[in-house]
Structure 1
Amino acid sequence: MNKSINILWRTSLLFMLILLFGFQASARKQRVLVLHSYHQGLNWTDNVSEGIQSVLAKDDNVELMFEYMDTKRNSDPEYLHEFAKLYGLKHQKNKFAAIIVSDNNALDFVRNYNSDFFKDTPIIFCSIDQFTSELVEGIDQVSGVTEEIDSKKTIEVALQLHPKAKQLVVINDNQTQSAILNRNNIKSFWPQLDTDVNLIFLENLSIEELVDQVQNLDPNSIIYLINFSRDKEGNFISYQENIEIIRAATKLPIYSSWEFYFNEGIVGGMITSGYNQGQFAAQITLDVLNGDDLNSIPIIQGGYNAFKFDYEQLKRFKILPKQLPKGSIISNQPPSIIRQYQTSLFVIIFGTLIMLVILRYSKIRIQQNEKKLIQENEELDRRVAERTKEVVFANEKLELQTEQILKQNTELEDHRHNLLELVKERTENLEEANLELKSSRKRLLRMLDANSDGVWEHNFENEQVYISKIIWDKLGYNSVTAADTKDLLCKLIHPEDLMLIKQKHKKNKMGHSLLFITEFRICTKKNEWMWFKAKGKILDYNEEGKPRNIVGTLINITERKEAEAKIKAEERKLRVSEKRWRSLIEQASDGILIYDTTGKILDANSAACNWLGYSTREILQLNYSEIDLNHSSSALHTYWRKLTTSTPSLSFESTQKRKDGSNFPVEIHLSLIELQDSKLILSVINDISIRQETERKILNAVINTEESERKRFATDLHDSIGPLLSSINLYLSSLGKFDSVIEKEQIIKASVDAVNEALVSIKEISNNLSPHILNDFGLEKAIQSFTNKINLSQTISISFYAEHMEERINEQVEVVIFRVVNELINNTIKHAKATNIEINLSREGNLISLIYIDDGIGFDAKEINAGTSTGMGLYNVLSRIRSLNGSHKIKSNPKRGGMMALVEINL
């Protein structure tokens, strides 16, 4: 008893130690991060992940983690900066034994943030296009697999398989450096092919333009698809979507060098495999985890591409497998009858051979026995006379031999029976194997159901559809049986999507298509639409070669669809904003030009084109220095260099040249536009021809007015002061001729009177130049005195009202307003034939307002407001108002009569 307890205790202790060591071993798992440039769900990215998992997922000591940068759809610097911050938050405490980076953007990220996140961590790269040593500069431990596509071999085999082709059409979005290099590579080796086929590139197109051009291609054309994941408007298109668009637009043969297009409608080519890239990178990682020095492992730069072709497409274009290059891989090729029933045929043939051997053996034995019997009978006949005594013995011997023959026949029959039993047993074993196969298939479906978003199956023979429970749980439905599934799906799937699904289902059922791939909406229990992506493949065929069933997976893509909808909404907002901005520029009355720091004109509005006389296309071919007459190219660059963040704008005047050779003066306002990677200059141009003409008119008016004042002053002095001074001179000269005191006093008195009269005249002249009452008592008293003098004539009635004018204002403003009132009254008396004038002068804070109204005949006020009137007296006075940062407005109606003038000056 004690011995049993001791054994049990030792066994328990051993079991606990095993568990303890197991936990310690699991705690020592090595973490490996896979950093993808693109997003999960992209064919290329998923293939690379599968290749990595095929190697590292088998190792129990490795823990894989995946991170997706999503740069296929988001690649601007602001996004990458935010992604770096998010990466730091997620992985700042994670210590990775190695990091696998997929595609160029991930490698750039690791290089740029090496000192922040990846120092001393082994970096293994894969899928790196156009690899150079600069891409890994600064990374201490690095190696991996480059990505080299072989366009030349793909195009060569395409031309060999289609000898009647007249042109090769290359489809390429030309939006990335890699795409440009691939195009240039084709152009470089094309002359070496020695072919009469024309080479055509379809690049920089929108989706609609691409479809239109593909639909109108020559029937004797071959298409080579490099990539079309982004159109000229910058819209992202997935690999599957762009091949579907091209495949739907044409029936021409399509070739490519990318694995993510394989089995999607291309004939084939020298295929670059993302799966192989992932496998190679994972194997290098495994070597590093096992202790190898990463820097001693050479970079793999070839040997991973292979010729691959789609059997369905070969059959479609009547291409035989023997025409393909040696060693080509053919997918979707149905197995031969011998391969389908290989085991059964082997059993039947083997059994038949055994039966034939047994039957042949039996026949030989019978023939031998018969021959022997004949010989013995002949021997008996010859010896009948001699051996009469042995007849009985011979007969017994014959009977014995006959029994032996019968016994042998019985044995042969038993042997044949055993053989039939053996065949029956083998048949039963085959049935058991089939049952085991079905059981394995069910286990596989359960495994897929447990490890993915969902699994589905459609049996074409009984028309039953199965969808895993996890999908029904997501949709909110319970207790859905296989018998109810098909009818329920027809009710729940969106009607628009249901038609497409039925069309694809019909092709699968008839055997026209091996694959089933589509995206559709299903209504949930809460009456909400949920998006799913279904992928499936025909699994079994019946004896007639018709599809028996199709099995596939269901992936919930609702979040992706919602994200895509948001992106499209943002794009629409951007387009609306762009249209609004363009509309504002086009509606501007000023000319607007946008050019870079070299002077190359990038955009112009209609006003600028009209002023300069160029069309939009013509003006975009010019450099700004070609239209500026006053500044050399170096002088313009001096202005542009002055534009900085601290000095974002400046103005100057110049002269611009029109297309017809004429020129006109302009005032130019420059503003700096700073973009992420460049600087642009916004130039707002004002035609100042009218302003300069106006300034010339004002200058002439001022000169004429000053000249008139001089002439009037000279006339007044000549007519008034001159005679008086001559009289005084005469009086004083004759003073010596008189002796009597009385006569001298009379002469002196006459001289004094003349001097007094001269003083009065000088005072009147001075008052006309600058009224003394305006200088002594201010604007209100001066206007009141002036209007009172005119009212004495009783030819016109003037009413004057002043409000808040007790405090004196700026002397210059007082003189301008007084001159305005004088000029308005003079114009009314001379031209308006008015009987009444009303003048209102007021002050509110720093604002001086003058309202002048008469009831005279009307006139066209537009000429005065625009500065085109020929009457320069009033225009000269009003121009002085503008010089004081004031404003004026004159209104009049030629039919109804009357005039009103409003003048405002901000002190």
Structure 2
Amino acid sequence: MFSLIIRILRPIRWLPFLLPVFIILVLATSCFALLAFAKDDIKTVLILHGVWAQDNWEGDFDAALKRSFAMQQNVAVVTRTEYLGLESSRDDSSRSQMVLHLKNKLGQHEVDLIVGVLPAASNFLHQFGDEFAVDIPRIYVVPGSGLAKMAEEKPDVAYIRSASTAALKNTITQVYEILPETKHLYLVAGIALNDTAYLDRAKQAVIELGKDAQTTDLVGLPLDKLMDTLAQLPPDSAILFVSYEEDSNGDKYIVDKFMTSLSAKANAPIFGFWDTLIGHGVLGGSMTSAEAYASETASAAMRILTGTAPSEIRVKDSSTTNLYDWRQMQRWGIPRSRLPQDHKVFFKAPSLWDDYKNHVIAATALIIFLSIMALVLTLSLRSRKKAWQKAKTSEERLDRALAVNHDGIYEWDTRTNNIYFDARYYTMAGYEPNEFPGRFDEWVARVHPEDYARIGPLVEGYLAGELLTYDVEFRFRGKNSEWMWIRSRLKTFERDEDGKPRRIIGTHTDITSQKHYELMLLSQVKIAEFADKHSALEVLQKVLDEVELLTNSKVGFYHFVADDQEHLSLQNWSTNTLDKM
């Protein structure tokens, strides 16, 4: 009983792990369903291939066609592919069975459009399409020229003509342009339906170019015999590989599997017109592209599926591209200058320049950039050095001039009311540099109160923009508490929008000696005028007062020295001293 319970509960332990997986699967299924229903409609396109693929051309075509359909926005397209096997179904009975098979298939699955790819499938669809595809529009991709003309009579048929005729003709022309010494041209082809269709076009191109007398057909040779033949071609020969799906023994081939070996055996360069041959031993040629055919087919299909009549879609010629293999060019000694002007070369071995081109270009660009930057920096440094030297010279000249004049400089920013005093501003009054802060109130505190009462209104008038000049003299207290005479001048270098000074440069000039000399002269004049009207003692009293004023003394008196040179005889006090007493 216990073991039975264990067997029942054992699967339950996996539920925590299985539940998230189940949820993810449900969400993914829902997303895909929503994406499918987001399309306006879902259309089915049936793609018919007639014979066994000669190489991967058909695979490239199908893949490119699906990619083109997937890029459409409004209509979802589902593709189905059918291989007809026409290379082994050449009697009426076999083909009748294929028609019956397709009829039953279309009866079970709704198809909106049928595409026949290459001549074999296009011919089959044209011949038997009315039996199994009634009222279903069709597209013939790369039909024969005769079939294209007949298709124009059917209103439900669109076609995209092959570029192979032009490609073959262009390739043959390039053979004689690239190898002008060519005397023999060999056309290699099998016996399958597509082989013979393309061989007919190649032979027609040879005739149109007037080269038929130099051309030999190698048709249906078994592969081993074909290799031996191509290995023994006469000098000045060239080979045009047309198509080789089946040989005369009924053996079928995929070109990719043997082309490299065939090219290695051949003693002449091989040209071709299928882009899938590049890289497998073919020198090159004017190539048709499965990608280009698929893109044009998808475009035509979408037009039909969205309502355009098939008879309005008739693509006369598809595009070709001149492609060449660099390795084969080197093998046969063919210079690139002989190639057509609009060509592409593949498999070129990169040279030293190719390998390091980007590095060299980047390094060169970096060197040029750094050289330019170095030149710019050098010129900038020279310019700045000259400017610095000029400024230094000017500063030294100014310093010498100020040193001679004993001037100090200050700069006043009226927005912040901060003042910068230079070193001489401090030292001329006995202070150490920066001994007191650079503020207006610090300056006011050191100006003699009597003088500030006189010059204060002048400062305010200058700051208000009412006075354009400022040149005043006042007493300024030095560090030793003695008064020195200063001459101050201001110059405005920047004003605000109202015209008021914003940045002011000022100077302080020590004029103490000059002022004392002026006062001494004034005292002499005063004493001389006083002496005319007063006694000798009064004149001495006046002299004492003037000397006291000139020397800033607190106490003044004069005395005589006795004859013994040891005693003094006090004669009088100054007026200020007497007042204080």
Cα offset, 1:330, TM superposition: 2.0
Residue aligning to 1:178: 197
How far apart, in 2, do the equivalents of 1:390 and 1:246 lie?
A: 106
Conserved 8 A contact 1:384-1:391: no
Equivalent of residue 266 in structure 1, options 282, 287, 292: 282
Residues of 2 paired with 1:335 and 1:166: CA distance?
A: 34
Tell me the equivalent position of 1:84: 99
**Alpha carbons 1:107, 1:135 under 8 Å: kept:** no
Residue 364 of structure 1 deviates from its aligned partner by 2.9
Contact 2:278–2:325 under 8 Å retained in 1: yes
Report the alpha carbon displacement of residue 246 of structure 1 after superposing the two structures with TM. 2.5
3-state SS of the aligned residue for 1:218? coil
Does 2:129 match 1:114? yes
Tell me: CA distance 1:164–1:22, structure 2 relative to 1, closer, same or farther (3 Å). Answer: closer
Pairing partner for 2:333 from 306, 311, 318: 318
Alignment CA distance shift 1:236-1:389 (3 Å)? same
The 1:18–1:274 alpha-carbon spacing in structure 2 relative to 1, beyond 3 Å, is closer
Summarize the Cα distance change of 1:18–1:378 in structure 2 as closer, same or farther, 3 Å threshold.
closer
Distance 2:39 2:354 in 1: 44
* 1:472 match: none
> Comparing 56-65 with 131-140, which one deviates more in the overlay?
131-140
Change (3 A) 1:244 1:85: farther
Aligned counterpart for 1:305 among listed residues 320, 335, 338: 320
Deviation at 1:69, TM superposition (A): 1.2
Contact 1:111–1:137 (CA under 8 A) maintained in structure 2: no
Q: Using a 3 Å threshold, how does the CA distance of structure 1 residues 91 and 285 change in structure 2: closer, same or farther?
A: same
Gap change, CA 1:390 and 1:110, over 3 Å in 2: farther
1:57 alignment counterpart: 70
Q: Within 1, Cα distance between the matches of 2:160 and 2:47?
A: 14
Alignment-derived partner of residue 44 in structure 2: 31
Q: Residue 270 of structure 1 aligns to a residue in which SS?
A: strand
In structure 2, distance between residues paired with 1:397 and 1:313: 88
Corresponding residue of 1:292: 308
**Residues 120 and 335 from structure 1, CA distance in 2 versus in 1: closer, same or farther, beyond 3 angstroms?**
farther
TM-superposed CA distance for 1:254, in Å, is: 0.5
Q: 2:181 aligns with which of 115, 139, 164?
A: 164
Q: From the CA coordinates, give the structure whose radius of gyration is larger.
A: 2
- Report the equivalent of 2:383: 368
Q: Distance in 2 between matches of 1:83 and 1:397?
A: 111
Which residue of 1 is the match for residue 85 of structure 2?
Answer: 70
Aligned to 1:220: 236
Deviations 1:488-537 (A, max 9, x none): xxxxxxxxxxxxxxxxxxxxxxxxxxxxxxxxxxxxxxxxxxxxxxxxxx
Q: Is the 8 A contact 2:157 2:310 kept in 1?
A: yes
* Cα distance, 1:356 vs structure 2: 4.9
TM-score under structure 1 length normalisation:
0.37
Cα distance in 1 between the residues matched to 2:353 and 2:150: 53
Contact kept, 8 Å, 1:39 with 1:45, in 2: the verdict is: no
CA contact (8 A) 1:125 1:281 kept: no
Whole-angstrom distance in 2 between the partners of 1:370 and 1:180: 84
TM (normalized to structure 2)?
0.56
Describe how 1:592-603 pairs up with structure 2 within 5 A: none
1:848-891 CA distances to partner (integer Å, 9 max, x unpaired)? xxxxxxxxxxxxxxxxxxxxxxxxxxxxxxxxxxxxxxxxxxxx
Runs of 5+ in structure 2 lacking a partner?
1-29, 410-419, 424-581
In structure 2, distance between residues paired with 1:143 and 1:18 = 36
**Aligned-partner Cα distance in 2 for 1:19–1:390:** 95
Aligned to 1:203: 219
Match of 1:44 among 10, 35, 57: 57
Tell me which amino acid in the other structure corresponds to 2:316.
Answer: Q
Q: Secondary structure at the match of 1:29?
A: strand
Give the secondary structure class of the aligned counterpart of 1:252. coil
- Mapping of residues 222-621 of structure 1, within 5 Å: 222-241=238-257, 243-297=259-313, 299-333=314-348, 356=371, 358-376=373-391, 378-379=393-394, 386-389=401-404
Would you say the 8 A contact 1:151–1:186 is kept in 2? yes
Counterparts of 2:65 and 2:422, CA distance in 1? 80
Measure, in 2, the Cα distance between the counterparts of 1:246 and 1:218: 17
Q: CA deviation at 1:284?
A: 0.2
Equivalences, count:
379
CA RMSD of superposed structures (Å): 4.0
CA apart distance, 1:155? 1.8
* Alpha-carbon spacing, 1:340–1:135, altered in 2? closer, same or farther (3 Å): farther
Structure 1 residues 231 and 115, CA gap change in structure 2 (3 angstroms): closer
SS in 1 for 2:48: strand
Deviations 1:773-801 (A, max 9, x none): xxxxxxxxxxxxxxxxxxxxxxxxxxxxx
Change (3 A) 1:50 1:337: farther
Match of residue 146 from structure 1: 161
Matches within 5 A, 1:656-805: none
Deviation at 1:266, TM superposition (A): 0.6
Distance of 1:61 and 1:235 partners within structure 2: 40
Which residue of structure 2 lines up, in the alignment, with residue 745 of structure 1?
none
- Give secondary structure in 1 for the equivalent of 2:82: strand
Change (3 A) 1:49 1:340: farther
Measured at CA, do residues 241 and 292 of structure 1 come closer, stay the same or move farther in structure 2, by a change above 3 Å?
same
Q: Return closer, same or farther for 1:227/1:274 CA change in 2, 3 Å cut-off.
A: same
User: Helix, strand or coil for the counterpart of 1:113?
Assistant: helix
Distance in 1 of aligned mates of 2:321 and 2:66? 21
Tell me the equivalent position of 1:191: 210
- The residue identity in structure 2 corresponding to 1:32 is V
- CA deviations 1:592-651 (Å, max 9, x no partner) are xxxxxxxxxxxxxxxxxxxxxxxxxxxxxxxxxxxxxxxxxxxxxxxxxxxxxxxxxxxx
Residue aligned with 1:182, SS? helix
Taking the aligned partners of 1:300 and 1:250, their CA distance within structure 2 comes to 37
Specify which structure has the bigger relative contact order, considering alpha-carbon pairs within 8 angstroms and separated by 6 or more residues: 2
- Relative to structure 1, is the Cα distance of residues 92 and 335 closer, same or farther in structure 2, using a 3 angstrom cutoff? farther
Distance 1:22 1:214, change over 3 A: closer
Sort the Cα spacing of 1:156 and 1:241 in 2 relative to 1 into closer, same or farther, 3 A. same
Alpha-carbon separation, structure 2, partners of 1:145 and 1:133: 9
Q: Is the 8 A contact 1:120 1:140 kept in 2?
A: no
Instruction: State the distance in 2 between where 1:111 and 1:371 align.
Output: 91
2:158 touches 2:310 (CA, 8 Å); kept in 1? yes
Cα distance change of structure 1 residues 115 and 231 upon mapping to structure 2, 3 Å threshold: closer
Is the contact between residue 122 and residue 141 of structure 2 (CA under 8 Å) also seen in structure 1?
no
- Whether the aligned pair in 2 keeps the contact of 1:111 and 1:139 (CA below 8 Å) is no
* Conservation of the 8 A alpha-carbon contact between 1:38 and 1:45: no
| Contact 2:292/2:318 (8 A) holds in 1 | no
